[in-house]
């Protein structure tokens, strides 16, 4: 399943931007592994080094290791066009969805429609994201190329046999965290394409938090052509930063500015390649502020703090599918630039 669709049930490999919903902190979520929307004038899509030819996947041998299967799945998320039906099982019950993914002129388009409950539609258009912010003239790898290597020392990857799901043969991939600062994952990957047909998110005690499963996958087709990479983005000059993040979490080079809000709302995304957290900072003003404390948002949590930063009381919100104490610690570690001199994350 594509990165947007994976982000709906799980923190997964990417975080999606809802087309018809605002995030509780007052800004839109941005997706990891994505970035510029169609029409960005500074996107260098014509350079061959800035594209990935999906047909290259046909020349790669069938994966044999857990690491190779994960990398295959990451590329498949971008390169296969398909339509599917799925179910999502979580704390809010069972919901069914219609999913689609396609590539047009080097740009991906993903849509997820909930078929029961409130009529919610998520849509995302984007390109293959970068792993890091750009620094000078140094190369910045496409996210799938670097994610697997980045996960070493953070998770244990292993294959756990084969099963049949949605009338297709799958291989099961278990991803276990090596600490208690992040959740575990189980993926059932389609042997023919590498697309994940089932995903389970496990908390730090090994309990199932949420299950997402494709029940019908209709004619997945490998895109005949290339997909553009997102443009190289320079790191923003934020006056604030977290001085603590779980090991392996890095700032993601994604566009987070929402056209619905002014520059007073700051938003950054951090990820270890699987787990993701969003951090929002804005002045405390008006009546739309959140109550400080810990809030439950489906399978996610949001830690809210009102703190004096930069000579003004500001609302700090850290949200994601991570242990709540991790989100709280990140929120409490936020420091303004003048106060951060000498502090090291």
Name the nearest CA neighbour of 336 among 313, 311, 310, 298: 310
Helix, strand or coil, per DSSP, at residue 223: coil
Rounded Cα gap, residues 260 and 257, in angstroms? 9
Looking at residue 164, what is its pLDDT? 97
Question: How large is the average pLDDT for residues 2-17?
Answer: 38
Buried b (16+ CB within 10 A) or exposed e, 142-166: bbbeebbebbeebbebebeeeeebb
CATH code of 65's domain: 2.50.20.10
CATH code of 293's domain: 3.30.200.100
* Torsion angle, alpha carbons of 66, 67, 72, 77, to 10: 90
Q: What total of structural domains would you count in the chain?
A: 2
Rounded Cα gap, residues 81 and 38, in angstroms? 18
**122 and 41 both lie in a single domain:** yes
Predicted confidence (pLDDT) per residue in 138-193, tens digit: 777 778 878 998 998 999 999 999 999 999 999 999 999 999 999 999 999 999 99
**211 and 282 both lie in a single domain:** no
End-to-end CA distance of the chain: 34
Predicted confidence (pLDDT) per residue in 72-112, tens digit: 999 999 999 999 999 999 887 899 999 999 999 889 999 99
Question: How large is the average pLDDT for residues 15-44?
Answer: 32
Range of the domain at 17: 3-228
Domain membership flag for residue 235: no
Rounded Cα gap, residues 120 and 237, in angstroms? 35
Q: Which one of 180, 195, 228 terminates a domain?
A: 228
**80 and 189 both lie in a single domain:** yes
**19 and 108 both lie in a single domain:** yes
pTM of the predicted model as reported, rounded to 2 decimal places: 0.83
Q: What angle do CA 246, 248, 249 make, to 5 degrees?
A: 65
Question: How large is the average pLDDT for residues 327-342?
Answer: 82
Could you tell me the two tokens for 206? 């090994």
């Amino acid at each position: 399943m594509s990165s947007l669709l994976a982000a709906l049930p799980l923190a997964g490999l990417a975080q999606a931007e809802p087309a018809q919903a605002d995030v509780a902190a007052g800004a839109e979520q941005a997706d990891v592994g994505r970035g510029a929307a169609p029409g960005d004038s500074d996107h260098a899509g014509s350079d061959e080094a800035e594209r990935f030819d999906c047909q290259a996947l046909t020349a790669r041998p069938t994966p044999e290791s857990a690491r190779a299967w994960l990398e295959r799945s990451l590329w498949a998320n971008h390169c296969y066009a398909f339509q599917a039906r799925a179910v999502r099982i979580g704390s809010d019950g069972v919901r069914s969805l219609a999913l689609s993914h396609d590539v047009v002129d080097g740009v991906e388009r993903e849509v997820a429609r909930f078929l029961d409950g409130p009529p919610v539609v998520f849509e995302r258009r984007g390109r293959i994201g970068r792993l890091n912010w750009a620094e000078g003239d140094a190369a910045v790898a496409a996210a799938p190329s670097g994610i697997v290597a980045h996960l070493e020392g953070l998770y244990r990857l292993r294959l756990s046999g084969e099963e049949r799901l949605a009338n297709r043969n799958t291989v099961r991939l278990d991803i276990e965290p090596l600490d208690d600062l992040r959740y575990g994952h189980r993926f059932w990957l389609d042997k023919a394409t590498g697309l994940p047909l089932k995903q389970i998110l496990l908390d730090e005690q090994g309990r199932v938090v949420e299950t997402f499963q494709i029940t019908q996958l209709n004619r997945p087709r490998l895109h005949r052509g290339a997909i553009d990479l997102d443009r190289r983005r320079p790191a923003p000059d934020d006056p604030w930063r977290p001085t603590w993040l779980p090991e392996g979490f890095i700032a993601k080079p994604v566009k987070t500015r929402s056209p619905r809000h002014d520059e007073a709302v700051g938003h950054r995304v951090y990820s270890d390649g699987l787990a993701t957290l969003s951090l929002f900072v804005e002045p405390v003003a008006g009546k739309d502020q959140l109550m400080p404390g810990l809030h439950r948002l489906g399978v996610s949590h949001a830690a809210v703090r009102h703190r004096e930063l930069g000579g003004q009381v500001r609302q700090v919100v850290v949200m994601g599918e991570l242990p709540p104490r991790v989100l709280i610690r990140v929120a409490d570690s936020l420091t303004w630039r003048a106060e951060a001199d000498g502090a090291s994350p």
